[in-house]
Amino acid sequence: MRRAGWIAALLALAACNANPLLHEASANYAPLAVGETWTYQGSGGQVLSRAVAASLTYQGRAAFLVQEALNAVPQPNRYWSFNGGDWLQWNSSLSSWELYRRLPYVTGNSWPIASGSPTVTMETKVDSVENLSLASGYYANCFKLRTVSQSYAGGVTTTTESDAWAAPGIGDVQYGQVDASGTASVLAVITAYQVP
Amino acid sequence: MPRTPGDGLTRSGLLVLFTLLVPCIHLAAADQRGGSLSVEPSLLMPMGPLGQDYGAAAQADLDFDLGINPGWSMIFGAGYTTLPNLVQKDNYLTLAPAWIGLKSKAQFRQDVEIFWDLALEGTYAKEFYQNSGSGSIETLDGGGVAGAGFDLWLSPSLLIGTEVKAHLVVEGRDVYPFLQWGLRLGLRG
């Protein structure tokens, strides 16, 4: 009986592990539907609002029209589409659909981002899973996505890094950046959202 | 709190599997009251929310049955499968469960044995991209498995049979069900 007790204890420990893979694998980290809205507060007080305004056919693909406004000033429209698990974004400078994110997120996975410039390379990598406690709520099992951009000019390479945290069932909840000295800072956090 | 791929769970997974198997091997040597060893090619179907993302796949099981008395056996075994993502065609979920439990059995006819079993289960899981990525996530979950089926004794030492199992993988407060149907081919003692 003692042996069975040890086995049961081990299995119970396994059930309480801190890496909820199946939860992450079955969750929707990009819930896109018409009518959804997200509002972010920038570190400088600015307000970014994002809304899925319409579902339409754009440049040959079924797509979502995403409208953004910064401090109530409309920003250029975004167009998002899905090709299986690949999340595509219309790149107006390249006039093509380009890979934006690859779903489902798997820690360590990475994909190239089209920069539109031969001297700039970009890549997004799924960095880690984190739990975020923000003023608007507690967001568990967020995937942290780090985009590294390297530009080459005059023999000098400049690297910039930006982060996005995606929460299950919500989407992006926080944005950040890493400066040249390696110091990370938060650029914007979600303050409200409407996702069915 | 950042986490990195694996989180050292592969090592803890092996530890649990080892802990499960060692006492069973010891019992096998000590117990001479019959039982069986069978391979079980089967079909595993994820149910619930996971079933919307991952499709069914073939699973291979190895089942041990150590007879305690004519009505009960101790069982243990392990399986392996890789489920394909239904949306992202390059994404897969590997599952390797191992279980230990009890089996109740009864003679239905002279050469047919019906049974049901209940077991504790540990499941190693790994999600990964096959071609377009280099990352992976691994974990070890606990849970249980319940099964029912019958064996047909072809000869004093050979059996075939079928079994349906319901796996319940527990992860935090969530339970992820899987349904498995398999064909058994084995040796009995």
Digit-coded pLDDT (tens) for B44-60: 999 999 999 999 999 99
In a domain, A111, yes or no: yes
Q: What is the CATH number of the domain that holds A176?
A: 2.40.360.20
What integer pLDDT is reported at residue B29 of this predicted model? 38
| CA nearest to B4, candidates B139, B137, B109, B100 | B137
Q: Is the pLDDT of residue B3 over 80?
A: no
Contacts of residue B131, Cβ cutoff 8 Å, sequence gap at least 6: B90
Q: What is the pLDDT of residue B24?
A: 45
Residue A17 has pLDDT above 70, yes or no: no
In a domain, A158, yes or no: yes
| Residue A49 lies inside a defined structural domain of this protein | yes
Please indicate whether residue B61 or residue B33 has the higher confidence score (pLDDT).
Answer: B61
Going by C-beta distance under 8 Å and a sequence separation of 6 or more, which residues neighbour residue A140? Answer: A131, A167, A168
Among the ranges given (A18-27, A104-113, B27-36), the one the predictor scored with the smallest mean pLDDT: B27-36
C-beta atoms of B88 and A106 within 8 A: no
pLDDT of residue A80: 97
Q: Which residue has the higher pLDDT, A102 or B11?
A: A102
What residue ranges define each of the domains in chain B, with the CATH number in brackets? Answer: 9-188 (2.40.160.20)
- Whether the predicted pLDDT of A33 surpasses 70: yes
Residues of A whose CB is below 8 A from B90: 85
Question: Are B88 and A131 in contact (CB < 8 Å)?
Answer: no
Give the pLDDT band (50/70/90) at residue B13.
low
Q: Is 70 exceeded by the pLDDT of residue A14?
A: no
Note whether A7 contacts B134, CB cutoff 8 Å: no
Kindly report, residue by residue over A34-93, the tens digit of the pLDDT. 999 999 999 999 999 999 999 999 999 999 999 999 999 999 999 999 999 999 999 998
Mean pLDDT across the stretch A130-142? Answer: 96
Residue A8 CA, chain-centre distance (Å), reads 38
Selected residues 133-172 of chain A with any CB under 8 Å from a CB in chain B: 144
- Residue range B113-157, pLDDT digits in tens: 999 999 999 999 999 999 887 889 999 999 999 999 999 999 989
Q: Is residue A12 part of a domain?
A: no
ipTM, 2 dp: 0.84
User: Cα–Cα distance between A139 and B166 in angstroms, integer?
Assistant: 32
Quote the minimal CA–CA distance from B87 to chain A in Å: 5
Residue A7 belongs to a domain: no
Alpha helices, DSSP H, located in chain B: 9-30
Q: Do B93 and B117 touch, CB atoms closer than 8 A?
A: no
Mean pLDDT, range A25-29, rounded to an integer:
92
Which of A3, A22, A106 is opposite residue B176, by nearest beta carbon? A22
Average pLDDT over residues A118-135: 95
CA B156 centroid distance within chain: 26
**Domain-located, residue A177:** yes
Tell me whether residue A149 is in a domain. yes
Q: Which residues sit opposite B96 in a β-bridge?
A: B124
- Whether A128 has its CB under 8 Å from any CB of chain B: the answer is yes
Q: Domain of A110? A: 28-194
Total number of domains constituting chain A: 1
User: Comparing C-alpha atoms, which of A31, A49, A32, A29 is closest to residue A40?
Assistant: A49
Whether residue A68 is contained in a domain is answered as yes
CB contact under 8 A, B136 and A127: no
Which residue of chain B is at minimal alpha-carbon distance from A27? B49
Return the closest-CA partner of residue A9 out of B22, B122, B63: B122
Mean pLDDT of B89-101: 96
Q: How far is CA B77 from CA A32, A67, A70, B13, B158, in A?
A: 42, 54, 58, 15, 19
Question: What three-state secondary structure class fits B15?
Answer: helix
pLDDT in tens, A62-75: 999 999 999 999 99
Identify the pLDDT of residue A75: 97
